[in-house]
Amino acid sequence: MADPKLLNTSLVNTMLSNDYELFHVKDLVIQEKTLYHYHDFYEIHCTLSGTANFYLDGKQYSLKPGSVIFINSLDLHRIVKQDSEVFERVYMFITPNFLRAHSSKYTNLERCFHPTGTTKSKIIQTDPEQIRSYLSQLEKPINKKDYGMDLIYTQQFINLLVYLNQLVMREENEIQPKEVLENSMIEELMVYVSENLDAPLTLEDVAKKFFVSKYYIARMFKKTTGFTFHNYVLKKRLLYAKQLLVTYKNSNEIYLQCGFKSYPHFLKSFKKEFGLTPKEYLKKHQNQEIIFFDHH
């Protein structure tokens, strides 16, 4: 792994644990390359300088220094565009197991991702210099072979997580999505898909719903999201299936709820997307194994 140096794109921690990674990024956002993506783990994204637009869970937000995004596993998201010459940010990938293992009876480190008891990605606003202060402790070069340094580093990371959770608990820090969205019809369509995954969701159906031609939807959807409409619907169905599998523990009980007409089609699509059968995925999840899929 790379040493923790401040580069245009640099790994901050040296992977003392397989449970979290930190990156400090200053590179230019190229809109054509920032496609919608998701993770099997949590992400926290902190803006340190500059401004940008960010898509999260069907809405767009304006980011500025001090904006902190808490992204739940499996939520589609992307940086839509960079508005300033420099867009400096830090993003962190964290497994749920790490947060649970370091939580206590009185301090739930997952609370920032479940502020009201339900799963919800959200964005808050804070002082960017406070974020830099915590990060300065994490960006200092360390030798993990030195006695105690791995524990000290992890504790510094936990200190940052405690601070961020405290911010989420103060509801006045939450920022609201933009009122005027770019490609608003496509954004509305993405929300409609998320709320109707058990419906057929053909191009013909949604074209009638939104009073436009199916060819217009197909062209604009691909241009805006990087997905064909069919592939986006399929991906959303499969992500929803993973959530339902954890609850119901049986793929036979959930494939219809996700909009699949046949069980064989569901099995084939699931294996192709995730590289695992539903049964294999459940086993890994129950054994708390770390599952990393391509996410960029």
Q: What are phi and psi of 190, to 5 degrees?
A: -65, -40
**Domain boundaries defined on the chain:** 9-173, 184-286
> Position of tokens 């129950």?
286
The burial of 90, by beta-carbon neighbours within 10 Å (0-12 exposed, 13-18 middle, 19 or more buried), is given as buried
Is 80 exceeded by the pLDDT of residue 30? no
- 9-173, superfamily in CATH? Regulatory protein AraC (2.60.120.280)
Question: Domain 184-286 maps to which CATH number in 3.40.50.300, 1.10.1060.10, 1.10.10.60, 3.40.50.2300?
Answer: 1.10.10.60
Asked if residue 257 lies in contact with residue 5, where contact means CB atoms within 8 angstroms, the answer is no
Q: What are phi and psi of 186, to 5 degrees?
A: -65, -40
Residue 257's identity, in one-letter code, is: Q
Instruction: Provide DSSP, 7-48.
Output: -SEEE-S--SSTTEEEEEE-PPP-GGG---B--SSEEEEEEE
Instruction: Provide DSSP, 272-284.
Output: HHHSS-HHHHHHH
Question: What pLDDT does 80 receive?
Answer: 83
Asked if residue 88 lies in contact with residue 150, where contact means CB atoms within 8 angstroms, the answer is no
Question: What pLDDT does 74 receive?
Answer: 74
What pTM, to 2 d.p., does this model score? 0.74
Residue-wise pLDDT tens digits, 246-272: 888 888 889 999 999 999 999 999 999
The burial of 173, by beta-carbon neighbours within 10 Å (0-12 exposed, 13-18 middle, 19 or more buried), is given as middle
Give the list of residues 6+ apart from residue 162 with CB closer than 8 angstroms, or none: 107, 109
In which band, very low, low, confident or very high, does the pLDDT at 180 lie, cut at 50, 70 and 90? very low
Is 50 exceeded by the pLDDT of residue 133? yes
Q: CA 192 to CA 215: how far, in whole Å?
A: 18
Percent of the chain with pLDDT over 70: 84
The burial of 44, by beta-carbon neighbours within 10 Å (0-12 exposed, 13-18 middle, 19 or more buried), is given as buried
**Which residues are bridge partners to 9 per DSSP?**
25
Is 70 exceeded by the pLDDT of residue 295? no
DSSP state of 180: S
CA 50 remoteness from chain centre? 21
